Each structure stands twice: as C-alpha cells, then as structure tokens.
Chains A and B, each alone.
Chain A
Amino acid sequence: MLVAFLTFWEVAARLAHNIGIATFSDTMVAAWDLMFGNGRIWEAMLNSNAALVLGFAISAVTAVPLGLAAGRSRILDRALSPYTAILLAIPVAPLVPIAITAFGLSLAARVSIVILFAVIFIYVNTRAGVRSVDRRLVEMAHAFGASERTIWTKVVIPSAVPAMFAGLRIGLGRALTGMVAVELLLVATGVGKLLLEYRDRLQPAYVFATVLFVIAEALLLLELARFIERKVAPWND
C-alpha cells in the first residue's frame, strides 16, 4: 500500500514536469539534507514545538478538570455553555489576529492560538465522557456506601477516560494545526518559516520534506497518546 503510493508519487511527479511538485526521491534527499546536511529542521521543530507543548499542556490541564466538573455539575455546565458554544461554533482563524494584537509576535501569541485550536475539543469530549457514565454503576456505588469522592475516583473518572483520551488525541491534532497555521499566517518562525522560505526559493523538495516531518511528528505524538492511554486504561483494548 505504502510502496504503491510512493511509486505513484514518484512517477506522477516525474510526468507532471511541474517545478512546484517534488518527486519522492528528491524529497528524500532534501529530508536528509534538513536532518544531517544543513540540519535546519531540528531548530525549526524545537522552536515550533515550544508553542505546541506549552499550548497543549495548558489546554489539557484546564480542559480536563473543567470537563470533568461540568459533566457532573449542571450549574457549572450552564455557566460555561455560552463560551464553549462560541469556541465550538466559530472558526478559529479569525481569532488569530486578535491574539497577535494582544500578545504581539511572541511565543505567548503562538501558545494562545494553539490553546484556541485545542482546548475546546478536550473539554467537550471529557464532559461527554463524564455524562456517559452508566447510572447503574453510580447507583451500585451508592448502595455500597461509596462517598462522593470514591464515586469520582472509582466510577466516574475511569468511565470518562476513553472519551477523555479521544479528546486529547483530537486536541493534539488541532494543536499541531494551530501551531503550523499561526507560523504560516503571521509569525514566521519554526517550521512555518522554513516552509515559507523554501517555497519562495522554489525548492519544492524541501517544502515537501518539511511537511513530512510535521506529519511524522503528528503520528508519533498520536502513537504516544495511545501508548499512555493503554497504560492508564488497559481495560479498553
């Protein structure tokens, strides 16, 4: 499957004779150069990922507790619902200039964009996970004299874990999108800067190679999230 795709890519790119489309082999050469020749990918990745890691971490530590609480408390859920509805409904792109105005072309601006992209999906899924808890299990816990705290730790949170991790995975993908989007649109730095530069220099193989690195990172991070989920919630496989 993969081989067929790569062959198709190579052949199609050669036939296209379009200087905007790099062949597979040229892309690989460029990737090698980015890693071990000029080595520019490392610094770019590091730079970009600072925003990603910070933004995603902040999203997770706010959205997970809020989602848990809103899933169980009607009052909090009502209080938050206008904001979550807005965050869900509007496209994030128009918010990017606002963040830039507020924070300038800084790391803080990039971090806040990543948060805007990721936070709502983590929140919504965590909340849904809590909502979907089996009422019969909660009743069972009550019948055996469980305290509210025990019901949380032994029933509600474990049953919310799968949805919570689904939210974290979606949030991660969105955070990556946000990270690259802001670099392409406004703050030319990191991977985004690399992409823009190689495009302007008409070096499509380097553009393709850089994109491949972003994809590889995304896959790696999702795999990492799956791994952690299996550790935390082994009963789901």
Chain B
Amino acid sequence: MTDVTAASTETQPPAPWPDDASLAAASHGGPMIELRGVSKEFLGDRSSTTTTHALDNISLTVNEHEFITVIGPSGCGKTTLLRIVAGLIPYDSGQVLVKGKPVTGPGPDRAVVFQSFALLPWATVLENVAFGLETRGIPRAEREEQARVLIKTVGLAGFESRLPRHLSGGMQQRVGLARALAVNPDILLMDEPFGAIDEQTRRIMQEELLRIWGYRRKTVLFVTHSMEEAVLLADRVILMSPRPGRVHEIIDVPLPRPRGRETERTREFTDIKELLWDKLRVMQTV
C-alpha cells in the first residue's frame, strides 16, 4: 500500500478516502452480505402462464472487504441476484441481510455500476458523478467538490463538463464507477460493468478497478461472463448454474495481491481458469 501512496503524487490521482494501511493489511472482516435460502420467480406475461424460476434457494455470505465475482451461463440469474441485493426488486422467500439488517430497498450502504452505464445523457460528467450525492440532499458546492475528487480518481480530470455521448464506452463506465464510489458505499454491486467495452479497454479498466479497490477495500459483488476477469479480480468466484438459478460451486482464488497482467501469466492463475472452464463447459452442454 505504501508504494501506491508514494506514487500518487505523480502518476496516481489522490486516494478518494483517507488511506488506511491497516485496512489493506487486515484480513476479511465479518459478513457484509448474507443470503439465506433466497428464491425468486418471475411471473410470465398476462397472456402466458409460464413462470421463470430465476433463483432457487441461494445461500451465500460475502465478507467485508471481499471481492466476489459471479459467473455462470446467460440466464442463470446473476443480474436478478444483484438487483435483489441492491434492493431494486423483491424476493419471494428466504432472507437477504446487508450488515445484518434485512434488505427492504436501496440504501446508502450499496452502490450499483450498470452494464449499460446508465448515465443521464443530458447531464455532464460532473453532474452524473454527483447524482448519488444529489439524491442524498448534499448541497451543490459540497457534492461537486467530492465528485471532482472521484473524477480524478478514475482518471477523467478535465472531462468534468463533457456530456456522456462525447465519451468512449470505457470513459463512460469510469463515470459510472466514479458515481458509485462518490457516495462512499460499503458495498459495490457491479453487473458486467465491462461487458459492453472493447477488449483492450476492458483490460485497462480491470487494472484500474483493482488499483482503486486497493485504496480501501470495499466489499464488491461483481457479475461477469469472462473467466479471466472472474479469476483476476476475485477472492472467491461464485459459479452459478441455470434453470433454476443455483449456486453451483464457490471457488477460492488464493492468488497474491496486488494483481495485474503478470498474474495472468502465472501457473496458478491458469489452473484456476481451466478449472472454471471445465465446470462451465459441462453446464453449457446441458
């Protein structure tokens, strides 16, 4: 951590929150997110009687400061899982706890990064990043000051007054990430945040995310369909299986941090990725 802080004077933007060396050194704290036997069905249209069993008896604990990735075939309920934790949709049975309290809706302890970026097209980068602070009633001067710090953190200094459509996909998602970090949540919920971004940019974004995450280890629940991404980022990979959506297996990723491109060339990385692929391949053919 110390070298990151030292480098920040030159190449790195300042940390958005007070750097806490003990925090990075600390092992995982207590449970941050707990799902106990959570199920979710979607009713079909008025015309059809089919229901989709999106999630079936999901149990899962995410500890403080943990980086969890979720992977599985399309339609296995990854987005549904994330939206339930975000408090955006209700669940049918079971329990969802965040910091020990049942989730009844969105809350200031969680922030979401969306695959579609979900930026307001009529708002500038600064206004978009400050959006979550604005909904919390923080006065303009204060929220813009905080937003500017986060804009620097994600490397967008100088773009404050641009509109989203004048930015590339990668830059737009930097805005999405800054908006989520600006509210200083305990938990980051990310739904294939780099899924709509080209391969080269995606790699840079992964490294950026790891760098930013290193400042202060937010608890992260990160959905992806890329095996490299799942392994590179995670402390643990949740492998989900479809119809109905279930937790198929949880795979530990004991690779040392900080991680970067070198990590991907290590034997350990490749082994875990291959293991993941073997398990996913079985599912794909089902």
Contact = CB atoms under 8 A, between A and B. Distances in A.
Interface of A: 134, 136-137, 139-147, 150, 154-155, 158-159, 233, 235
A150 B132 CA distance: 11
Nearest to A151: B135
B109 to A, nearest CB: 10
B142 to A, nearest CB: 17
Contacts of B157: none
Interface in B94-140: 106-108, 110-112, 114, 116, 118, 120-123, 131-132, 134-136
Contacts of A155: 120
B187 to A, nearest CB: 12
B163 interface: yes
A145 B88 contact: no
21 contacts: A134-B118, A139-B88, A139-B118, A140-B112, A141-B131, A142-B88, A143-B87, A143-B106, A144-B112, A144-B183, A145-B106, A145-B132, A150-B134, A150-B135, A154-B120, A154-B123, A155-B120, A159-B122, A233-B122, A235-B121, A235-B122
Contacts of B120: 137, 154-155, 158
A140 B118 contact: yes
Nearest to A146: B135
Interface of B: 86-88, 106-108, 110-112, 114, 116, 118, 120-123, 131-132, 134-136, 163, 179, 183
A13 B107 CA distance: 74
A73 B183 CA distance: 31
Nearest to B176: A140
A142 B87 CA distance: 9
Contacts of A134: 118
Given A150-B135, A154-B131, A235-B163, A143 B121 contact: no
